[in-house]
A and B are shown apart, each in its own frame.
Chain A
Amino acid sequence: MYFPNADVVIHPALLVFLGLIVGMLGGFFGVGGGFLITGGLLVFGVPPVYAVGTGLTLVMGTSIINTLKHRNLGNVDFKLGALMVTGTIPAIFLAEWVNATLEAAGIAGPVIRYVYVGFLSSLGLFILYDYWRTSPMRSSRRRGGPEQISTLALTHRVRTLRIPPHRVGIPGVGGFSTYVALPVSGIERISIFVPMSIGFGIGFIAGLLGAGGGFILMPVLIFVLGVPTTVAIGTDLFQIIITGSVGSFAYALSDRVDPTMAVLMLAAASIGSQLGAAATGMIEPSRIRFLYGLLIMTGAVAVALEEVSQAVAGAASLSNVASAVLLGSGGGMCILLLVLMARARRKGERRTGGGH
């Protein structure tokens, strides 16, 4: 099937398959799926900047679907999401300008892939390390007790940061404190500049890599802010709507989006989203984090293989290996989730809403 805006021919079944995987994994892990979408489109041969722009467009669509689903489960902290968005929006426009500059210099593809590999592999290794480190604590904790993560000291330090100004005055309106409570996330008091800064950093990376930022934001919310896993999933999906929309708009303005491709994948993603969101209520948070770490590690491997296939003469066949790794691991993860859901259903497990 020919996609005119990206000027590329791709078999639609591949896009449908990618959409299904993205929808399910997005609903389960709370990510827009951008790293999978952009990585998948890159291995399908879509030009890098179109892969980024179309990825952001699909991310916007899937995150709307997933956020609505998670809102019904009580997993969305809208206040936290709104604070992060104030930093995200300017960062995305900055990232789009950087990407356009890199494209003009002819190095957008390699840079995007190198940054992807670096980020995904670092993040994946940390999440797997955290799972390994906290397993003794997990085996002894009672069901429904607080989640155990290896960065509790860091989360306490971040939550208690005092960043000036501590009060802001608006003429004619009055003054207000720059510290807020975020009860849905279990945070009694935090400086508003913390989520705004997080939003800015995530927004820049998201805009650069063509993702909603969820694959970074979700672990940041858990390991830096100490937000419970399911609330981190729902909240970052909400924030991804904004980053995806702004990013999609910025890239569409530069004619770097193929909406036909995006709508086709969205239709498939909507099916997977239903299953993914439902699975979060049936699987333990620590296991969710472990599976997430595995997933992004395989994403890093796939993008690395694609980069080698482009950079090394005679290694073009590695591109097929890359697509096999990405789609195979994504599909395998979906099957694993279905199996875990079936087992949980048989045992009659329902996680009681655990939190910190």
Chain B
Amino acid sequence: MNEFLTGLSSGQPLLWALSVLGVMAVAALTLTAFWGGVFRVAGLFRRREPQSEVDDVLS
């Protein structure tokens, strides 16, 4: 893997540069989607929690 990376970076600079941008963009979007999903699921769990004492008092 190390040889592949160093070989690509020195032998195919344009492909290397585009690959670097592509990998980072995909990684960033994937991580954003992942955390978005995590928070959405966490929000669903929070809404299912039993009513708090405050809610009981108000109702």
Give A contacts to B, CB under 8 Å. 2, 4-5, 57-58, 60-62, 64-65, 68-69, 245, 248-249, 252-255, 257, 259-260, 262-263, 266-267, 270-271, 273-274
Given contacts A4-B2, A267-B31, is CB(A57)–CB(B13) below 8 Å? Answer: no
Given contacts A64-B29, A270-B32, is CB(A253)–CB(B24) below 8 Å? Answer: no
- A5 near B9 with CB under 8 A, answer yes
A–B Cβ pairs within 8 angstroms, 27 of them = A4-B2, A4-B3, A5-B5, A57-B20, A57-B24, A64-B28, A64-B29, A69-B32, A245-B21, A248-B17, A248-B20, A252-B13, A252-B17, A252-B20, A253-B14, A253-B16, A254-B13, A259-B19, A259-B24, A260-B5, A266-B28, A266-B31, A267-B27, A270-B35, A271-B35, A273-B35, A274-B39
Cα distance A33–B58 in the bound complex, in angstroms:
45
Contact of A248 among B9, B24, B31 (CB under 8 A): B24
Cα distance A2–B5 in the bound complex, in angstroms:
12
Cβ–Cβ < 8 Å partners of A252 in chain B: 9, 13, 16-17, 20-21
Give B contacts to A, CB under 8 Å. 2-3, 5-6, 9-10, 13-14, 16-21, 23-25, 27-29, 31-32, 34-35, 39
Cα distance A57–B20 in the bound complex, in angstroms:
8
Contact of A255 among B13, B25, B27, B32 (CB under 8 A): B13
- A60 near B21 with CB under 8 A, answer yes
Given contacts A64-B32, A68-B32, A270-B32, is CB(A248)–CB(B27) below 8 Å? Answer: no
Cβ–Cβ < 8 Å partners of A262 in chain B: 20, 24
- A4 near B5 with CB under 8 A, answer yes
- B5 near A249 with CB under 8 A, answer no
Cβ–Cβ < 8 Å partners of A273 in chain B: 35
Cβ–Cβ < 8 Å partners of B25 in chain A: 60-61, 64
Contact of B9 among A68, A249, A255 (CB under 8 A): A255
Cβ–Cβ < 8 Å partners of B17 in chain A: 248-249, 252-253
Cβ–Cβ < 8 Å partners of B10 in chain A: 255
Cβ–Cβ < 8 Å partners of B19 in chain A: 259
- A255 near B16 with CB under 8 A, answer yes
Cα distance A90–B41 in the bound complex, in angstroms:
43
Cα distance A143–B20 in the bound complex, in angstroms:
46
- B28 near A65 with CB under 8 A, answer yes
Task: Rank and list the top 4 A-B pairs by shortest CB-CB distance, nearest first.
Answer: A252-B17, A270-B31, A4-B2, A64-B28
- B21 near A248 with CB under 8 A, answer yes
| Shortest distance from the beta carbon of A278 to any chain B beta carbon, whole Å | 10
Cβ–Cβ < 8 Å partners of A69 in chain B: 32
- Chain B residue at minimum C-beta to C-beta distance from A278: B39
Cβ–Cβ < 8 Å partners of A60 in chain B: 21, 24-25, 28
- A263 near B24 with CB under 8 A, answer yes
- A249 near B21 with CB under 8 A, answer yes
Cβ–Cβ < 8 Å partners of A62 in chain B: 28
Cβ–Cβ < 8 Å partners of B39 in chain A: 274
- A61 near B35 with CB under 8 A, answer no
**Most chain B C-beta atoms within 10 Å of own C-beta, residue among A57, A68, A252:** A252
**Most chain A C-beta atoms within 10 Å of own C-beta, residue among B2, B20, B39:** B20
- Chain B residue at minimum C-beta to C-beta distance from A59: B24
Cα distance A62–B20 in the bound complex, in angstroms:
14
**Most chain A C-beta atoms within 10 Å of own C-beta, residue among B6, B17, B31, B35:** B31
Given contacts A5-B6, A5-B9, A255-B16, is CB(A263)–CB(B23) below 8 Å? Answer: yes
